[in-house]
Amino acid sequence: MAAPRDHRVLIPIDVLGGESVPRTVVDAFASVPVVLLGYREVPDQTGTDQARDQYEARVRSELDDVQRTFEDAGCLDVSTRIVFTHDRLETFERVAVETECDGVLLVNPAPVLESVLVAIRSDVNLEYIAQLLGALVADTDLEVTFFHVVSDEDDRKRGGELLDDAAEELIEVGVDRDRVDTTLGVDGSPTREILRAASEHDLLVVGESRPSIRRFIFRDRAKTLARKTVDPVLVIRGEYLERADVDESTGGEDERDDA
């Protein structure tokens, strides 16, 4: 297993809303440190302190059960936080930075977890993505397919080279070559093509977009994909999103959470 703190994944769970982490996902992500974020999104007219007074004990009880499940699966480093918020996506973003998580996992049902689709847009962060993926899948039988969409046939060669580079990065961190595949889509809507391809896999991995203008988590294509796919979605953070960016984006909203 990966040494604690080598990589870290944030897993938000609305336990009061009936969300849970499928056992298949627990087994896969037990190989890396995880932060379980028990959250509840409350209406604007409801104060977060009021929601905490009403629901915190129930959230804590449910979250403790999930923590024990990860520990029983062999997770060497699992911590929990609880937050009541008016904006769950902004909170995921903030906590991911505060806890130095490399990715955010949005849970969906996963009765079977055998194949992973990794949608890539460019060569930005390929090594970073491969390192986290390698930590997740190296000691499993999971098969990984890198997927990229180009606008027309003129870009086919460039797209193929990008996919080859991504595959080589993953192989270099210890994943067997026969478990790594690539697929190129041509002349289609990237979001539509990714969703179509994701329907044939069990876990979708996407990265943050456009680091040059510092777009935040879930404010780009990743947000659309996360909402429309039925698979669990792992959004791998770009290394460019810093604590100061999140402090500015939250605008000083008063939210309390527990380490």
pLDDT bucket at 112, cuts 50 / 70 / 90: confident
pLDDT value at position 54?
Answer: 92
Pick the more confident residue, 196 or 79: 79
Residue 189 scores a pLDDT above 90 = no
Q: Which of 4, 59, 65, 61 is nearest to 34 (CA)?
A: 4
Q: What angle do CA 160, 162, 168 make, to 5 degrees?
A: 100
Cβ proximity of 225 and 51 under 8 Å: no
> pLDDT tens digit string along 78-98?
999 999 999 888 888 889 989
pLDDT bucket at 222, cuts 50 / 70 / 90: low
Residue 237 scores a pLDDT above 90 = no
pLDDT bucket at 225, cuts 50 / 70 / 90: low
Kindly report the backbone phi and psi dihedral angles of residue 58, in degrees, each rounded to the nearest multiple of 5, phi listed first. Answer: -65, -45
Question: Which CATH number is 9-107's, of 3.30.465.10, 3.40.50.150, 3.30.300.30, 3.40.50.620?
Answer: 3.40.50.620
Residue 1 scores a pLDDT above 50 = no
Q: Which of 243, 258, 254 is nearest to 96 (CA)?
A: 243
Distance CA(102)–CA(108), nearest Å, equals 19
In this prediction the pTM is 0.84
For the chain, give every domain's residue range: 9-107, 115-243
CA 218 to chain CA centroid, nearest Å: 10
pLDDT bucket at 7, cuts 50 / 70 / 90: confident
Residue indicated by tokens 């194949």 = 115
Residue 216 scores a pLDDT above 50 = no
Distance CA(129)–CA(147), nearest Å, equals 13
The whole-number average pLDDT for the span 100-129 is 88
CATH architecture of the domain with residue range 115-243 = 3-Layer(aba) Sandwich (3.40)
The whole-number average pLDDT for the span 254-259 is 49
The reply to whether 9-107 and 115-243 are identical in fold is yes
> pLDDT tens digit string along 52-74?
999 999 999 999 999 999 999 99
Distance CA(76)–CA(116), nearest Å, equals 23
> pLDDT tens digit string along 22-40?
999 999 999 999 999 999 9
The whole-number average pLDDT for the span 139-150 is 93
